[in-house]
């Protein structure tokens, strides 16, 4: 797989982050924990991030070692350890701690890759 073939997956990750940001805009942790609709929307986008990551080639991942690809690929497993039991503490932690860093990394990757293509 070439870098060009990996870019759609990177763009899916970027888009999923944007959706999550919109879903939680103005929401406190407590309000998020009570809002099943937003929880479902956020968890779905985290699943998309995990699945998109799994489709990024090893060559591309090796090019950007600063990104925690393995952790991202396991996002779905971290969030939902059973079909109907989502760990909201982990979801909120991902939103607060992991996504801002990932957003910056994905932005830099896309800027570099799109500039080179």
Residues with active-site annotation: 76, 81
SS3 per residue for 57-110: CHHHHHHCCCCCHHHHHCHHHHHEEECCEECHHHHHHHHHHHHHHHHHHHHHHH
């Amino acid at each position: 797989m070439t870098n060009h073939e990996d870019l759609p997956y990177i763009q899916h990750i970027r888009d999923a982050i944007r959706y999550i940001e919109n879903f939680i805009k103005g929401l406190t942790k407590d309000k998020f924990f009570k809002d099943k609709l937003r929880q479902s929307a956020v968890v779905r986008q985290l699943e998309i991030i995990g699945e998109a990551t799994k489709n990024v080639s090893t060559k591309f991942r090796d090019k950007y070692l600063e990104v925690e690809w393995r952790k991202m690929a396991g996002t779905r497993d971290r969030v939902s350890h059973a079909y109907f039991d989502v760990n909201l503490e982990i979801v909120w932690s991902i939103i607060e701690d992991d996504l801002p860093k990932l957003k910056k990394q994905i932005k830099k990757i896309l800027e570099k890759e799109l500039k080179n293509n």
